[in-house]
């Protein structure tokens, strides 16, 4: 039997030290952050002094600039015991924020992880805020792991031990939990669809729940039928892999009052398009269609690992959208769990059909707010490009909160409008609503308008991550594949509720 690659947590291999003498530090590689233009007064200047002005000289000669994410390796530098000094650029000092530090640290790790190393030491600057420190640590953890799951010879090897020179022990610890969270989401997205299907995703959720002490329920097809989740079941009917609904509960307030937040994820473990079949190009990366589910599982696990004082429910709708002989068809009318009838015009618009039931399940739990993440529409990628997530809401103050959290984490998001005029586009001739808009224009918004039908009055924000969840090509700071986009934003949101 084929063995599925397993996920490893690395938080326990991240350490801090208060030893500040950089020249005699025992490590395989030392990483120093450099702003554009000069060595400044921070840790880079200490390295400069220890190496008798080496950095200043290289800057003068134009060999080193501090340009954003540029990595420069110096070997056996005189004055240091470390045999490898890696200098990573931060760009202009005034533009350095948590997102820049995440990506800079990640770029450095990515470069260093190309060879096995037992100890890699990062030198943090004393003036970094706790948030900046956390994000740098999370970035360093994300960069050392690539989409190597199925390669016989790995291109990237995680460090044996990562040390941060910093007094901020708690921030380094939180950063290491965030790093594991981002990497878990990436890992799940990178698994092949024959390894990650509804039941096996649910097993990953069970493992994450037992690690962090969350309660978990997994609804199988029998329970889904009892609960009236006919929309989820309809989408799943074309596959021999039965659907699952994962419900995770975390009560950080030590009471079981109403959840402060529900995190809902689209978990389509493979989207062939169903009978409205995708083209080969359009289908190639559709293992990524469970990224919303992976984002929510990772965010919830990290929130539990951080023991945040909130009550939370995570709900992930898991199905495989296939073309089997029982597959749902165009013209089918499904009565969703809420009672709303839905006419199917396109089986490839399956995510919203799945989420209809999942949103209704959390709405009936009386949660205070709902956030969902979904690789919902190609139209959102047309509107905003590959790097930016779309936001849609029925409650501006909740959406503003998401925008602020995303901004604090350096993750780009952009809100799109939800004018009532769009509602008429999802009206159906034969049922309450249909599962696509009238034409393809404004497709990301008509999809969000469909979801809005199932949240009632609960404050809700939908995040369309079809662009940023998956990178077809590598970037300096991240290998291609799953990106873990929005995991940090959601954790930041939960910390500020």
Site string for ligand BES, 392-431 (x = CB under 6 A): ----------------------------------------
Q: Which of residues 448-477 bind ligand BES (CB under 6 A)?
A: 466
Catalytic residue positions, numbered: 278, 352
The one segment of 105-113, 371-379, 420-428, 454-462 that binds ligand BES by CB under 6 A: 371-379
Rank residues 142 and 375 by Cβ distance to Zn ion and give the closer one: 375
- Which of 143, 292, 351, 484 is in the footprint of ligand BES by CB under 6 A? 351
Rank residues 177 and 376 by Cβ distance to ligand BES and give the closer one: 376
Q: Which of residues 289-328 bind ligand BES (CB under 6 A)?
A: 289
- Which of 48, 260, 271, 357 is in the footprint of ligand BES by CB under 6 A? 271
Size of the site for Zn ion (CB under 5 A): 6
| Residue 348 contacts Zn ion per CB under 5 A | yes
CB 131 within 8 A of CB 122: no
| Residue 349 contacts ligand BES per CB under 6 A | yes
CA–CA gap between residue 84 and residue 69 (Å, rounded): 18
Closest approach, Cβ 392 to ligand BES, in A, equals 15
CA–CA gap between residue 112 and residue 159 (Å, rounded): 9
| Residue 91 contacts ligand BES per CB under 6 A | no
Closest approach, Cβ 156 to ligand BES, in A, equals 25
**Of these partners, ligand BES, Zn ion, none, which one is at the site of residue 105 (CB under 5 to 8 Å by kind)?**
none
Rank residues 96 and 466 by Cβ distance to Zn ion and give the closer one: 466
- Which of 48, 289, 343, 479 is in the footprint of Zn ion by CB under 5 A? 289
Q: Give the binding site for ligand BES (CB under 6 A).
A: 271, 289, 346, 348-351, 375-379, 381, 436, 443, 466
Q: Give the binding site for Zn ion (CB under 5 A).
A: 268, 271, 289, 348, 350-351
């Amino acid at each position: 039997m084929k063995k599925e690659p397993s996920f490893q947590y690395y938080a326990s291999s991240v350490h801090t030290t208060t030893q500040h003498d950089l020249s005699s530090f025992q490590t395989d590689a030392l990483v120093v952050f450099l702003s554009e233009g000069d060595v400044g007064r921070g840790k880079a200047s200490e390295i400069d002094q220890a190496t008798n002005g080496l950095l200043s000289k290289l800057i003068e000669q134009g060999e080193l600039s501090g340009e954003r994410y540029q990595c420069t390796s110096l070997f056996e530098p005189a004055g240091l015991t470390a045999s490898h000094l890696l200098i990573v650029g931060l760009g202009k000092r005034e533009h350095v924020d948590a997102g820049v530090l995440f990506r800079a640290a990640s770029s450095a790790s990515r470069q260093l992880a190309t060879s096995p190393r037992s100890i890699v030491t990062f030198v943090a600057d004393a003036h970094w805020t706790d948030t900046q420190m956390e994000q740098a640590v999370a970035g360093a953890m994300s960069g050392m792991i690539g989409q190597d799951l199925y390669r016989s010879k790995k291109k990237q090897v995680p460090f044996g031990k990562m040390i941060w020179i910093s007094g901020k022990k708690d921030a380094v610890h939180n950063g290491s939990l965030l790093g594991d969270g981002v990497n878990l989401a990436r890992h799940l997205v990178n698994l092949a669809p024959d390894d990650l299907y509804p039941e096996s995703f649910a097993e990953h959720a069970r493992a994450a729940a037992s690690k962090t002490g969350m309660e978990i329920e997994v609804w199988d097809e029998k329970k889904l039928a009892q609960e009236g989740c006919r929309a989820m079941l309809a989408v799943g009917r074309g596959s021999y892999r039965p659907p699952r609904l994962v419900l995770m509960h975390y009560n950080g307030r030590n009471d079981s009052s109403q959840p402060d937040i529900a995190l809902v994820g689209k978990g389509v473990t493979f989207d062939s398009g169903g009978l409205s079949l995708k083209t080969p190009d359009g289908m190639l990366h559709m293992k990524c269609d469970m990224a919303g589910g992976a984002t929510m599982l990772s965010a919830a696990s990290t929130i539990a690992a951080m023991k945040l004082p909130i009550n939370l429910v995570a709900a992930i709708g898991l199905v495989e959208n296939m073309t089997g002989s029982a597959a749902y068809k165009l013209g089918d009318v499904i009565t969703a769990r809420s009672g709303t009838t839905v006419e199917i015009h396109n089986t490839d618009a399956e995510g919203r059909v799945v989420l209809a039931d999942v949103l209704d399940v959390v709405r009936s739990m009386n949660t205070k707010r709902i956030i969902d993440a979904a690789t919902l529409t190609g139209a959102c990628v047309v509107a905003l490009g590959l790097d930016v997530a779309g936001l849609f809401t029925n409650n501006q103050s909740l959406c503003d909160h998401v925008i602020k959290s995303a901004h604090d984490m350096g993750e780009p998001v952009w809100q799109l409008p939800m004018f009532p005029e769009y509602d008429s586009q999802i009206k159906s001739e034969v049922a309450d609503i249909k599962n696509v808009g009238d034409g393809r224009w404004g497709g990301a918004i008509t999809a969000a308008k469909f979801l809005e039908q199932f949240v009632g009055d609960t404050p809700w924000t939908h995040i369309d991550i079809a662009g940023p969840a998956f990178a077809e090509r590598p970037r300096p700071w991240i290998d291609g594949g799953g990106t873990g986009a929005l995991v940090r934003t959601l954790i930041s949101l939960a910390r500020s509720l």
